[in-house]
Amino acid sequence: MSAKILIVLGSPRKKGNSATLGAKVAEGAIAEGADVETIYLNGINIKPCQGCNKCQQNTFKGCTIKDEMHLLYSKMKDVDSIVVASPIYFFNISAQTKIFIDRLYAVGVGEKNIFKGKNFAIILSFADPDLFTSGAVNALRSFQDICRYLGATIEGMVYGRASGAGEIKEKQGVMEKAVLLGKHLATLKK
């Protein structure tokens, strides 16, 4: 049975740099026989967490907000690996990615945790020439904390500098790393 991988694109640009890297991860995974689905967050209706904490009540399943995040919960539950791709905007992940991450709380705690033992991978693109001054290091640290909290494993990270949409294609080393990450994820089962 092939590995199932969900790639979550958090850029508002369908052909942006993080989305381009996400496509390369998919290419590598598919080449190794994985079943890959890609979700474009900016194209679906996900509202921000309201902090009501009702999701943590024993009698409640999921989140009280009625939007398309519920479709993602079922998809995430059924995959082996989740790849989160985001550009760095103003020193951290995009707003689309942050809303998605915040909403993981509804199904990421205690016995309701659908992420325990799952594989995660992180893709980031940033315009600044430095990982630290760009804020990408903030995002990487956040993902490390999030995965530790969820009981998930980070199986790889790919990040690179590119400012104009699609410019990352010129960075052959980063593009190759994304393909290799996809191939690696294709070998993993939860």
Give the pLDDT band (50/70/90) at residue 61: confident
Per-residue pLDDT tens over the stretch 2-51: 999 999 999 999 999 999 999 999 999 999 999 999 999 999 999 999 99
Residue holding tokens 């991988």? Answer: 5
Q: How far apart are CA 98 and CA 10, in angstroms?
A: 8
Per-residue pLDDT tens over the stretch 147-184: 999 999 999 999 999 988 889 999 999 999 999 999 99
Amino acid at 121: A
Q: Which domain holds residue 161?
A: 4-186
Question: What region does 33 belong to: left with phi over 0, alpha with psi -120 to 50, or beta?
Answer: left
Domain count for the chain: 1
Token pair recorded at residue 40: 């474009």
CATH number where 181 lies: 3.40.50.360
> What's the pTM value of the predicted model, to 2 decimals?
0.95
Is the confidence at residue 84, as pLDDT, over 70?
yes
